[in-house]
Amino acid sequence: MKAYIAFSIHGTKAFITASKTFSSMDEIKALEPEFTAVKSRRDNYKPEDGVKLEWSKLMTVENVTDSTGKRMIERPLRSPPAVVVRFKTLERRGWTIDKRAFVHRHWNKNQNLAID
């Protein structure tokens, strides 16, 4: 059974993805609470694409002050280098990563960055 993570910095529509094959849904559920199965919002989603997962490490906690007072909220990462670093940890854990569209969108071709 395939599981995947797809992440895009809000508004960019440039995704970085990770996928891995598991032997059963129980093996995927054992990844909780770090990974949570969610419903895919893709228009062209097919069940054979696998189970979509959200990964807690792609969120950051921020202190916010608004009309309700001071509180902490979770927000998705907004730093392209931080996102790539997080996905590299998945790669070391045996996940297959596709970052071409993400890197193309967020890095100038003239920048000398060690992202591979």
In a domain? residue 116: no
Which H helix or E strand runs over 102?
Answer: helix 100-106
Q: Any idea what DSSP says for residue 71?
A: E
3-state secondary structure at position 21 = strand
What pLDDT, on the 0 to 100 scale, is given for residue 104? 80
In a domain? residue 114: no
End-to-end, the C-alpha distance of the chain in Å comes to: 27
In a domain? residue 77: yes
Distance CA 67, CA 83 (A): 31
Distance CA 109, CA 16 (A): 18
In a domain? residue 113: no
What pLDDT, on the 0 to 100 scale, is given for residue 86? 94
In a domain? residue 115: no
Among the residues of the chain, which ranges form H helices? 25-29, 80-92, 100-106
- State which residues form the domain around 88: 2-106
In a domain? residue 111: no
What pLDDT, on the 0 to 100 scale, is given for residue 111? 53
pLDDT tens for the chain, 116 residues long, are 999 999 998 888 888 999 999 999 999 999 999 999 998 887 777 777 789 999 999 998 888 887 888 888 888 998 888 999 999 999 999 999 998 888 888 876 545 545 55
What pLDDT, on the 0 to 100 scale, is given for residue 106? 81
Domain total in the chain? 1
